[in-house]
Amino acid sequence: MKKLVLCIISFVAVCIVFNACSDSVTYAELLNEEKDAIKNFIKDNDIKVITQKEFQDAGCVTDVSKNEYVQTTSGVYMQIIDKGSDELADTIRNNDMVLARYAEYRLEKDSAATFVMSNLNVAQIAQVDIFRYQKTSTGVSGLFSAGMMYYVYSSQNVPQGWLIPFNYIRDGARVKLIVPSKMGHETAMSAVKAYFYDIHKFQLYR
């Protein structure tokens, strides 16, 4: 009788473990869901995706009237609405402090983009996102010193996707970005979620 009970308990335990394993979602599956979310967002918003060659041939601009976004090699989709200042002196350089005003949305596979947060109507400078742009021979990075991203996500690291436009814009620029998880903040990476940003202004904070 004891052996029978032990066998039943063992069988139930195996079933529980099997069900738990079958219910778990793999990283590959999460990546596929993320791709679907980006694909759906592009379709639902009538976005016309252009190649980097088309982008360069057009003078590194996107046609807003056609709702063009360029797909970069990093996987980030970028629309430049306003390239910012015409003055060469207003180019964003290494160690510049940059202020960003934006709205953030999370992309979901089966629904419209979910609003997360925005600092567009914030008056206090401490809540407006400020970061130092750093450019080296090995790449670019950014470190928040203040703002909502810094406090909400508890990280100084600027999403790598935010820095993609800096080769093409200057002070006062406005861009829209679809940022896959690998180019996002730590929360995006851990959840394998893409985010959409409407960055109303990248402004030099000098």
Residues contacting 153, CB < 8 A, separation 6+: 185, 186, 187
Interval 7-55: pLDDT, tens: 444 443 434 433 444 458 899 999 999 999 999 999 999 999 999 999 9
Where would I find the beta strands (DSSP E) of 63-194?
68-71, 77-82, 97-108, 111-118, 129-136, 139-146, 173-179
Residue 14 lies in a domain: no
Q: What is the total count of domains within the chain?
A: 1
SS (H, E, C) 50-68: ECHHHHHHCCCCCCHHHCE
Residue 9 lies in a domain: no
Residue 135 lies in a domain: yes
Interval 132-191: pLDDT, tens: 999 998 999 999 999 999 999 999 999 999 999 999 999 999 999 999 999 999 999 999
Residue 6 lies in a domain: no
Q: What local confidence, expressed as pLDDT, does residue 9 receive? A: 41
Residue 182 lies in a domain: yes
Interval 110-128: pLDDT, tens: 878 999 999 999 877 667 8
The structure tokens listed for 159 are 């999403």
Where does the pLDDT of residue 58 fall: very low under 50, low under 70, confident under 90, or very high at 90 and above? Answer: very high
Contact between 78 and 62 under an 8 Å Cβ cutoff? The reply is: yes
Task: Quote the domain boundaries for residue 101.
Answer: 25-204
Residue 17 lies in a domain: no
The closest alpha carbon to 194, from 15, 30, 2, 1, belongs to 30
The CATH number of the domain holding residue 81 is: 3.10.50.40
The structure tokens listed for 79 are 């629309």
Q: What local confidence, expressed as pLDDT, does residue 111 receive? A: 76
Residue 4 lies in a domain: no
Residue 112 lies in a domain: yes
